[in-house]
Homo-oligomer: A and B are copies of this chain.
């Protein structure tokens, strides 16, 4: 085991103090250029590597932000993260990514770990199971800024950014109605999530506004974001006495599964059945028929979230003007409707 080189080693060889070395390494102003150069050179010669733990421990800043998402396995989330990283890196922050796998328990653990690792801030999208938000409140009380991302809650008072789900759902349902569909079904997500409730409400609102009475048999809800379950629900809907002529799905992944099942059952899309999704996943336009959906600016949303977080880290006093940003998605009409 090679001895690890520390600033002390550099200091000794250069016959200066560790304080000077520390300053030089961090590019402090109050240091003579020659000293600085000498330190930098010696650091290189000795193959010095700073210990970030020690540094964060004593400075109380880690230059790391933590991101918690339900899964990195879906386009919306991974692309949001890309947006977050994009701004974080320009400000020299590193991004630590964690996934809760839709588990409340794991989410709590992650948040705790993040806080205990003294990250400078957290951006979080709740798991589908999360109904209690004490773990977040505790973090905020520890003076770690938290941004709620997409899957938010009204119970916590902090910065938030989310899609205008009600509006978006209403918009795309309206589009279906304009296509002369009257029997519109909805496959939704778990109603623990505000997002899911909003989309359901938006869907209903569009129907009512056009004088269509929502049919409870056509409102089904998944507890799992999988292709398979979407397929099952599709079959279930098609088995209702009066078959629907359109389906608005909570998310593209659901729509893809539903459409696949529909085609398998010999249903013609969009002729017999129009299908719409939400999220504009990268693959949606490569389906046949290509999927009509609401496009969410996930990359931009990530950027905004990161900007908000860095602002709040850098100016803690701004704390009181919490902002809640709502982003309107845009309708992308393709072949499935």
Contact = CB atoms under 8 A, between A and B. Distances in A.
Interface of A: 1-2, 4, 47, 49-54, 56-57, 62, 71-73, 75, 78-79, 81-82, 85, 89, 94-99, 101, 106, 110, 112-113, 115-118, 138, 141-143, 227, 256-257, 259-260, 263, 282-283, 286-288
A194 B73 CA distance: 25
Contact of A117 (B53, B106, B286): B53
Given A73-B78, A81-B99, A89-B106, 7 more contacts: A51-B57, A57-B57, A78-B78, A82-B101, A94-B110, A263-B288, A287-B288
Q: How many copies does the complex hold?
A: 2
Contacts of A282: 73, 227
Contacts of A98: 94-97
Contact of A81 (B52, B72, B286): B72
Given A79-B73, A94-B113, A99-B85, A142 B49 contact: yes
Contacts of A101: 82, 85
Contacts of A85: 99, 101
B118 A51 contact: yes
A334 to B, nearest CB: 12
A52 B286 contact: no
Of A4, A50, A99, A227, the most chain B CB neighbours within 10 A belong to A99
Contacts of A56: 53
Contacts of A117: 52-53
Given A72-B81, A99-B85, A53 B256 contact: no
13 contacts: A2-B141, A51-B57, A51-B116, A52-B116, A53-B57, A53-B117, A71-B78, A82-B99, A94-B98, A96-B96, A227-B286, A256-B286, A260-B286
Contacts of A143: 1-2
A282 B252 CA distance: 13
A103 B17 CA distance: 38
Contacts of A54: 57
Nearest to A50: B116
Nearest to A95: B98
Contacts of A2: 141-143
A276 to B, nearest CB: 16
Contact of A287 (B71, B115, B287): B287
Contacts of A118: 51-53
Of A51, A117, A118, the most chain B CB neighbours within 10 A belong to A117
Contacts of A52: 113, 116-118
A95 B66 CA distance: 12
Contacts of A259: 286
Nearest to A97: B97
Contacts of A256: 283, 286
Contacts of A99: 81-82, 85, 97
Contacts of A96: 96-98
